[in-house]
Amino acid sequence: MPDSSPTSPSVRYTPVSARIRERIQKAQQRFHANDNISAFIEAGELEALLDEVEGKMKGVLESLVIDTSSDHNTQDTARRVAKMYLTEVFRGRYVQQPPVTEFPNAEHLNELMIVGPITVRSACSHHFCPIMGRLWIGIMPNEHSNLIGLSKYARLAEWVMSRPQIQEEAIAQVANLLMDKVSPDGLAVVMEADHFCMHWRGVKDNDSKMINSVMRGSFLKDASLRREFLSLINLKP
C-alpha cells in the first residue's frame, strides 16, 4: 500500500494562495488588486501566505542577481518585503473592514460636514510605486443618515487605500463605502496625491500631482453646494 502521509512524496502540497484562489473562483467573486478578499482567508492562512510570499520573493531577488547569502543587508529582505505587503502596504486586501459604530441622526442635522485632510498612502497597481496624498470628505446628512465617529472616516479610507490602487478607482470605492454606511443626501470625495510612478521612474517629474473627485447626490446636482465644499477645502472648482 502506498504511503499517503502528509510527508510522503505521493501527496502533492497545495500552496495556500491556490487554496484561497480556488475558494474565490468557486464563489464566482473577483480578486482584482484593489478587492478585499478577507472573507476567503481561513484562520492561520495569512501566516502561511507570508511564508509563501517570502519564498517567492527570494526567487525574485535571485533573478535580480542579488546575493542574499553573504550580503548582510539583504539576508532578511524577502521576509521583510513579504511582511510589508501583507501586513502594511496591502493590508486592506487581507483584513476585514474595521468596526464602525453608527449613531442615529437624533438632531436631524442637515448642514454640510467636511472631514479632512486625511493622509492616505497606497501603491499604484501598475508598478507598485507609492501613492502619497490627502483626502477630503464632504457629507450632507439627512434625518435618516447614520453618523459615524470622526476617526472612522480615516480608518475606512485607510482600509480602502491599503491595496494596490489607481486613484480614480480608489476614491470611488471610498465613496461607495461611505454612501452605504452613512446614507447621506450628498457625498463628495476629493483626493490630491503624489504618484511615485511619475516621480521615481518614467518621466521623473517631481512636481506633478493628481487631483480628482467623486460627487454623489446633492453635491452632483447642486452647483452652489459643490462650490462651497471646494472653496472650504481650498481647491478651485
Task: List the pLDDT tens digit at each of the 237 positions of the chain.
Answer: 445 455 555 557 899 999 999 999 999 999 999 999 999 999 999 999 999 999 999 999 999 999 999 999 999 999 999 999 999 999 999 999 999 888 877 677 788 999 999 999 999 999 999 999 999 999 999 888 888 888 999 999 999 999 999 999 999 999 999 999 999 999 999 999 999 988 888 788 888 899 999 999 999 999 999 999 999 998 544
Distance CA 172, CA 180 (A): 12
User: CA-CA distance, 145 to 24, in Å (whole number)?
Assistant: 33
Task: Please give the C-alpha separations between residue 102 and each of 16, 61, 137, 161, in angstroms, as whole numbers.
Answer: 36, 46, 17, 22
Please state the pTM of the whole predicted model: 0.87
pLDDT at 237: 44
Distance CA 7, CA 202 (A): 48
The reported pLDDT for the residue numbered 236 is 47
Is the CB of residue 121 less than 8 Å from the CB of residue 161? Answer: yes
Q: So what's the pLDDT on residue 203? A: 80
Confidence (pLDDT) at 6: 52
